Structure 1
Amino acid sequence: MKIKYIFTIFLMLMSSFSFAQESKLQWLDLTLSNYDYPYAVKYFPVNTQQKKFKMAYMDINPINNNGHSIVLLHGKNFNGAYWGTTINALKKEGYRVIVPDQIGFGKSSKPETFQYSFQELAGNTKSLLDFLGIKKTTILGHSMGGMLAARFALMYPETTEKLVLENPIGLEDWKLVVPYQKIDWWYNLEMKKTYEGIKAYQLENYYDGKWKEEYGEWVRLLAGWNLNSDYKKIAWNAALTYDMIFTQPVVYEFKNIKSPTLLIIGTRDRTALGKPLVSEDVRKTMGLYNKLGKATQKAIPNSTLVEIENIGHLPHIESFDKFIAPLKSFLAK
């Protein structure tokens, strides 16, 4: 009885903690106009698919410009804001840093309907760089941004001076083992998201159960949208991008990447799309970044692998010093 009583008290405390966290959530509008990014945000007009959209981006020019630039591409559950410390470090080294929010993400437009593809997003990013007068640059992508960065490098090798992939997803083809789900399935999944559910997912998949208060910022950014009466539009765009990720693997084309490439891999990462849809035996084979990093390095010509032991999906958040050191070294070559 005593054990049962203690467990009940524990559950009550956890419930109270969860309520306290959720009560801190800030209502966020569709384009995060009431959320400040680390640097000034500008907007680039994107005319595509017979519609007009706005693509948000940060363009940071250092005083001691070294003549080189780098583009930072965000992951699916993130936006340009989480690159703040990376921007600061690269700015000090003299790099011009461009950080776009892709259409459907962050401060950019949230379409009612949109045909998402990595080719589309890469083309929009190239148009932005053309507008900014950038002919050659390093492309760095994290998570979903890694898939986009690889696609960009394949489409625009003349623009991609160097390529950096930080724990990119898509290092394996999940549709070979995960049953296909229609977009409506992903939409319904998004509509059920809560602060506690988002945190639990990130805690398990990103941080191996080791939570720090600063990680909560990226949970609250997603959960704050849930308070918006137009959340259905955000959820629909999220569902469309899930389908893009699932059906458009780039892993088979790694051999065609021509740019010098750096892989920064947190080996504890176990991120993989569709784990709840497969058996436990199959699940154990998915998202093994301690193996996927090595396999990807062998697949991409002229590539270098830096493994960060005991770090998960977000090296630049969880272990910034171990992330930025090899990045700066690679860029300086």
Structure 2
Amino acid sequence: MRASPLLTICGLALSLGVGSAILPARAAEEPLGIALEGFPYPNPVFYLPLTRDGEAQRLAYMDVPASGSPNGRTALLLHGRNFPSSYWQSVIEALTAAGYRVVAPDQLGFGKSSKPVGPFSFDTLAADTVALLDSLGLPRVDVVAHSMGGMLAVRLARTAPERINSLVLEAPIGLEDYRFTVPPVPTERLLRIEGDVTADVYRRQLMTSYSLSLPDTAIAPFVSLRERVKGSGEYPRWLRSFVNSYQMIWGQPVVHEIPLVRAPTLFVMGGQDRNAPGRAFAPEALRARMGDNAAHAQALAARMPDGRTEVFSGIGHLVHMEAPSRFNATVLEFLNGH
């Protein structure tokens, strides 16, 4: 049984990516709990009790019914590392209008979900996702996954192939094995580096690492979100959880499994996206060859039983926010064809 929905409040524009200047200044500056208490999502939020590392945890998710004529299908949306699931709002609206039920979780460690401090693994995240589908009585879903969510989607498609009808990978990371170019980075060093990131540094990281075609105001709510969490008494726990997710991305490659995924798969890539986690730690001579993501996607799709790639020229890493109409139309055409 689902818990009662979390009441959303009037900050719908925040989850749409509108600058926080439209909100009262006091609200924009107040500290935020590490489960994003008070940060508005575009739809009611529910919670699934789970256990991780011997601790009780809660996995947050939105479960949005079709607003158009229901087609009997459910789309599962898997978020990236730097964003809560609220950033899916335009995709949720397009899919539900087309008759899809949409389930959009925050994985443990992200968004409104609990923040475990033990090591992360894609196997565990996949098992948590299957537990969510089981709790909702969903035997089979279509998956739309972004960035780190793409790595999770690949592992999910490998460990529970019977649950996946089709797969859309939006600007996924993990299309190369980062261990071949990036040396191991101790967790304590990462904690110091991430702990020193200011709002301005984080904004520049998103704009440049993701080669975004968006104005700064579009990512301002997410920059503000990270800055406000620093005011929480549990910020050290958030920071360690966030850093542990980097170690998972670096140390648990999925690229070697992608050609083995049997579900029909569409890569939707930004032509400008050269995001490569860990590039700053790689030897300078190797950095330039990292992050050729569109080319990697095309090569991998050609090796899959049923894979293809669509590249959006002039677009960076946040395809569904940079080119929402085209992205949604592309995704719906693909899903409706399977």
What is the TM-score with the length of structure 2 in the denominator? 0.88
Letter in 2 for 1:71: L
Q: Secondary structure at the match of 1:198?
A: helix
Report the counterpart of residue 72 of structure 1 in structure 2. 77
Q: CA deviation at 1:263?
A: 0.6
Structure 2 unaligned blocks of 5 or more: 1-24
Task: Indicate the SS of the match to 2:221.
Answer: helix
Correspondences of 1:1-333 after superposition (within 5 Å): 24-63=28-67, 64-111=69-116, 113-208=117-212, 211-333=215-337
Distance of 2:132 and 2:214 partners within structure 1: 38
Cα 1:23–1:94, aligned 2, differ >3 Å: closer, same or farther?
closer
CA distance, structure 2, for counterparts of residue 267 and residue 281 of structure 1: 23
Alpha-carbon distance, 1:304 to partner:
1.6
Say if 1:86 and 1:316, in contact at 8 Å, map to a contact too: yes
In 2: Cα distance, 1:318 partner to 1:227 partner = 30
Spell out, residue by residue over 1:174-232, the C-alpha distance to the aligned partner (whole angstroms, 9 max, x if none): 11111111211221122111110110101112235763422212222222212223211
* Residues matched between the structures, number: 313
User: Structure 1 residues 210 and 87, CA, compared in 2 at 3 Å: closer, same or farther?
Assistant: closer
Provide the identity percentage: 36
| Pair 23,179 (structure 1): closer, same or farther in 2 beyond 3 Å | farther
Alpha-carbon offset, residue 102 of structure 1: 0.6
* Structure number with larger C-alpha Rg: 1
> What is the letter of the counterpart of residue 92 of structure 2?
I
Which amino acid is the alignment partner of residue 260 of structure 1?
P
CA-to-aligned-CA distance 1:122-175 (integer Å, 9 cap, x gap): 000000100100001011110000000110001111000111100000000111
State the alpha-carbon separation in 2 of the partners of residues 289 and 71 from structure 1: 23
- Once residues 191 and 247 of structure 1 are traced to their aligned partners in structure 2, the CA distance between those partners, rounded to angstroms, is 21
The 3-state SS of whatever aligns with 1:300 is coil
Structure 2 CA distance, aligned partners of 1:25 and 1:175? 39
Change (3 A) 1:67 1:83: same
Aligned letter for 1:137? V
Separation (CA, whole Å) in 1 of partners of 2:314 and 2:55 = 45
> Counterpart of 2:81 in 1: which secondary structure?
coil
Question: Where does the alignment leave 5 or more consecutive residues of structure 1 unmatched?
Answer: 1-20
Counterpart CA distance in 2 for 1:323 and 1:164 is 11
CA RMSD of aligned residues (A): 1.9
